[in-house]
Amino acid sequence: MKKFFIPILIVFLLLTSMSFGSTKLVFTVHWADYQLDGIKDKEGNIVVKGLKQYVEEYMKTHPDVEIEVRSVAFDELLKKIIIDHTGGLPSDVYGLYSLWGVELVKSGILDEPPKDIQNAVRLLFVKPAVDGATINGRIWGVPTEIDNYALVYNKKLLAEAGFKKPPQKWVDLVNIASKLTKKNPDGSIAQYGFAFLAGWDSAVVHPYLALLYSNGGEFLSKDFKECLLDRKEAIEALDAELELFRKGATNTAASVYNFPNGTVAMMIMAPWYETDLKLGFKDKYQETVGVAPIPYLKKPATCGYTWFIGVDSASKNKKQAWDFIRWMTIQTMSNGATRMGELMAKNIGAIPPSRVNLDKFPNELNDLYTQTFVRELIHTIQEPNVAQGQEIKTALMREIVEAWNGRKTAEQALKDAKKKIDEILMENY
Amino acid sequence: MRKSLENRTGAGYSFLAPAIIFYLVFFLFPVAFSFLTSFKRWNMLTPFINAPFIGFKNFLDLLRDDLFIMALRNTLFYAILTVSITLVLALFYAVMINKARFSVLWRFIYFAPVVTPQVAIATIWGYLYNPNSGLLNAILRAIGLKGLNWLTDPNVALFSVILTAVWAGLGGSMLIFTASLNNIPQEYYDAANLDGATGFKEFWNITLPLLKPTLLFLSATGLISAWQVFDLPYMLGRNAPAKSVITVSWYTYEIAFQDLKMGKASAGAFLLFIAIFIITLIVLRLFGKEGIEGYE
Amino acid sequence: MNRDRKKLFWETFRYAVIIFGAIWMILPFFWLFSASLMTPQELLAFPPKILPSHPQWQNYKEVVKRIPILLHYKNSLIVSLSVTISVLLTSSLSGYSFAKLKFPGEEVFFRFVLSTMMFPVFIFLIPVYYLMRLFGWLNNYLSLITPFIVSGYGIFLIRQFILTIPDELLDSARIDGASEIIIYFKIILPLLRPALATLAILTFIGQWNSFLWPLIITTSAPQLTTLPVGISRLSLAFATTETQHLILAALVLQVIPTAILFLFLQRYYIKGFVLSGFSEI
């Protein structure tokens, strides 16, 4: 034994000295100030934790790890990631929109998660979120946020016109919307029966995809080699939207941002609009706002999109990064929820995609607004994680907007969209 | 005399030295880099060296893209209208205000849009253009006209952007006109008045010719920056059909940072440069036989 | 009598036209300030409110609590002032050179300077970022300042102004033996006051309100964060109604220093300041 004592001591010392080096992780997200710093009361005490509080907690229990949180506005985040990369200074951990993830994986920028995390994602997260984190058949990160769309309607306006329940089928929606549209003396619309979300690619494309899926249609072929929007189901889905325009129930000047002031009766909306509605309707919120599944064409369906957290393949601290991610998103706290889930539900106001979290936050997830979105998760189909996803969606958005403006028929618009999208797909698959 | 000529060359170059060094570093390198990029396919995530050369494909793709052609058309339209309207109004108001009382106050008010950040301008005008609750439609309705869908109607959207741009840029041009107006010696006006020329005659025969260098400057720089316009159309025009309102800078920016096609975007930037170059050349010719050197 | 009536008419016309324009110019500005004192609900109101029912001065307090505004002011000030001074210097030197000093290659180089203005900004983003990293300036004010220390616009502006200065003035000084540097400092600069004031205010505003480049640099170097980038941290992705009132208040805070600078520089626009000594010729 004595012979081995010194070598063992040396090895022991070497091992312990290696773990003494402190690691620095850079974590880049797109959240606002209070989402990072926490929500405080008048005295400055933390009422709802922000990301930084969780990070501090982790650093206390892992003193050799230092985590720096950086935040860039959503519009700028992808650009920031790219420029950091070309400048040779990437972050270690990212909060990514799944379509960005596709581009990063294509270029080998993301690190493949450890097997245990991949398995955990497959088992513990809802299907659309798992699909969102899956690129080319493999899982590349842990989903942190899942969003989908539902019909948000003004109960009062509907009741005034005699409708006690929201429409279940699309044809009923068109009917109710036309009856709820009121005009000004000069012909412009004073009250809209319906308003479409617009202004960026997801806004226009996601609700359309919801209708497409509801009509039994497909966006792209399974191997991503072809765009399938020239098929009958796709054209019918767009025509369903155009019915609202044809019946005068909406037009391109309609804005969902007028819903909180009571001049829009119905809209297709996502979970992130809750605070605006509460602010707009104040104490009339409960009696005015209603949420229902999107009225379907053939079967209930809605479209979803996902955010996931991933690690850069050029990071020098991949193991520590994944350890932090595991602690934040997979490990549960004493109350059975994950920390990321708590941050999402209580602070960010989004739907945490891990099943264990869905019943832990009744105030946030089972309330008037969010509960329908959560219930609709089973009908949610994740948008396809296709390469050049945003370019494809923008091309589709432009054609849909042309159709909305009456400058193209549904068939022509989708034909043109398919042509452009097929070109893009050909470059990549 | 020869001695002073030599002196001036030395001084000429040494005065320009900082500019020369700056342009070598911060201009020639980036432009060369981008020029090279325009012949490659590069998504900025893989190393630049590995990006494949694809010849003129980026340029051809853009010239065949009807959206890019529309962007050129929109940008041209925007540039000509914005610059001409802004210059006429700026000169008009500069002259009006220069001899008025409280000129400092008026100049401050007219300059207010220039100090305002673009995001505030877009927010403010977003409200003004609101079809139902906006001030502009309220005024139209008050005089018996129908309200317009300022930001969503494809026939109107670009004009709305132009209107906001004129509003935002007027004060800056006005300020430069003011500085030039005050540069004209009073003696010229005194002499002319003695000959009986006042008011409009005075303006046409003395003021305007002496403002030529300024007009040249404002037209050239106005067009150059109008051609590159990005913020206002992007922030105001999101809800109109793209074809009717997209500008070249907006489109190339999107190609770079959304489609991740930096090669194609760089090609677009060079095509834009060519367009600006040609237009500026035309304008400079209009202002004098010798172009920029001629200002008499 | 007729002449007086005519004069009165034109004077009334003058003021009517000025005031009409002024209303349009100031209206949105006024709304910005008014809206910054509203509550989020009031901002959503329909029909929209022009004045807040109770001015929410605490919006400003809230902004100061949530973002380190003094730090942002300091950073913005350092960057904007440095760039402005540098641009004034380089533009006047180069502008004088192009306007009055004849030397071989002058025309070509001036056209080159003009053409540098014709390239869209995003071409420069990545290469200049590379350069900043190469020089090791990424955590330094230098990365925010150096890409802007020379301005083609400034050179062009000053050149046009200097062109209006009579050659005789300069030649008589040269005959007296003055070197170009002396001429530059003693004759040119004083005559350039309104032009320099104009260039100063426009450059300062351009830097003060600049968003894209500071965003790229300061997100990896948060201690350098300038005001517009700091303010953007208050906004949420899509539904920013929650913080809109704070953003508006922050924007007012952003506007005030440039407005003050403008007022301060107005003294250089008074006629007569410019050409003192001119009549001696």
All structural domains of chain A with their residue ranges? 22-146+305-375, 150-304+383-428
| % of residues, chain A, pLDDT over 70 | 95
Q: Which CATH architecture has domain B56-293?
A: Orthogonal Bundle (1.10)
Note which residues in 154-213 of chain C have CB less than 8 A from chain A. none
C238: contact with A, CB 8 A cutoff: yes
Task: Give the residue on A whose Cα is nearest the Cα of B48.
Answer: A86
pLDDT, residue C60, reads 96
pLDDT, residue C271, reads 59
pLDDT at A17 over 80: no
CB contact under 8 A, A82 and B259: no
CB contact under 8 A, C155 and B25: no
Is C38 inside any structural domain? Answer: no
pLDDT at C254 over 50: yes
How does pLDDT run across C10-62, given as a tens digit for each residue?
A: 889 999 999 999 999 998 888 889 999 999 888 877 777 888 999 999 999 99
pLDDT at C274 over 50: no
pLDDT, residue A68, reads 95
**Confidence bin at B289 (pLDDT 50/70/90):** very low
pLDDT, residue C277, reads 34
Which member of A86, A187, A394 has the closest CB to residue B258?
A394
pLDDT, residue A16, reads 53
Chains touching C (at least 3 CB pairs under 8 A) are: A, B
How does pLDDT run across A149-165, given as a tens digit for each residue?
A: 999 999 999 999 999 99
Supply the mean pLDDT for chain C.
Answer: 88
pLDDT, residue B3, reads 46
pLDDT at A7 over 80: no
How does pLDDT run across B244-284, given as a tens digit for each residue?
A: 999 999 999 999 999 999 999 999 999 999 999 999 989 88
Is C22 inside any structural domain? Answer: no
The count of structural domains within chain C is 1
Q: By the 8 A CB rule, do A318 and A397 touch?
A: no
CB contact under 8 A, B269 and C120: yes
Q: How many CB pairs under 8 A join A and C?
A: 79
B263: contact with C, CB 8 A cutoff: no
DSSP line for C231-265: HHTT--SS-THHHHHHHHHHHHHHHHHHHHHHHHH
Which member of C94, C114, C255 has the closest CB to residue B116?
C255
* Global pTM value: 0.91
| % of residues, chain A, pLDDT over 90 | 85
A421: contact with B, CB 8 A cutoff: no
Shortest CA gap A380–chain C (Å): 21
Shortest CA gap C259–chain B (Å): 7
A22-146+305-375 shares its CATH topology with A150-304+383-428: yes
Residues of C whose CB is below 8 A from A260: 44, 241
Supply the mean pLDDT for chain A.
Answer: 93
Residues of A whose CB is below 8 A from B153: 252-253
Q: Which of C214, C252, C226 is nearest to C68 (CA)?
A: C226
A27: left (phi over 0), alpha (psi -120 to 50) or beta: beta
Is C94 inside any structural domain? Answer: yes
Of the options 3.90.226.10, 3.40.190.10, 3.40.50.450, 3.40.50.2300, the CATH number for the domain spanning A22-146+305-375: 3.40.190.10
Task: Give the residue on C whose Cα is nearest the Cα of B257.
Answer: C122
CB contact under 8 A, C102 and B5: yes
pLDDT, residue C236, reads 75
Least confident of A166-180, B5-19, B95-109: B5-19
CB contact under 8 A, A107 and B152: no
Q: Looking at residue A8, what DSSP letter applies?
A: H
Query: Average pLDDT for residues A250-265, to the nearest whole number?
Result: 93
Joined tokens for residue A62: 């892992």
**Confidence bin at C81 (pLDDT 50/70/90):** very high
The domain of C208 spans 66-280
B33: contact with C, CB 8 A cutoff: yes
Query: Average pLDDT for residues B170-195, to the nearest whole number?
Result: 86
CB contact under 8 A, C90 and B19: yes
Q: By the 8 A CB rule, do C199 and C87 touch?
A: yes
pLDDT at A246 over 90: yes
How does pLDDT run across C207-231, given as a tens digit for each residue?
A: 999 999 999 999 889 999 999 999 9
CB contact under 8 A, A388 and B260: yes
Which CATH superfamily includes the segment(s) A150-304+383-428?
A: Periplasmic binding protein-like II (3.40.190.10)
Is C237 inside any structural domain? Answer: yes
Shortest CA gap A177–chain B (Å): 19
When scoring B37, B107, B163, B175 by the number of chain C Cβ atoms within 10 A, the one with the most, hence best to mutate, is: B175
Task: Please name the amino acid found at residue B128.
Answer: L
Is C48 inside any structural domain? Answer: no
Residues of C whose CB is below 8 A from A258: 46
Q: By the 8 A CB rule, do B177 and C158 touch?
A: no
Peptide bond into C47 cis (omega under 30): yes
Which domain CATH number covers C118? 1.10.3720.10
pLDDT, residue A10, reads 63
CB contact under 8 A, B132 and A190: yes
B107: Cβ contacts below 8 Å, ≥ 6 apart: B97, B171, B174, B175, B178, C266, C269
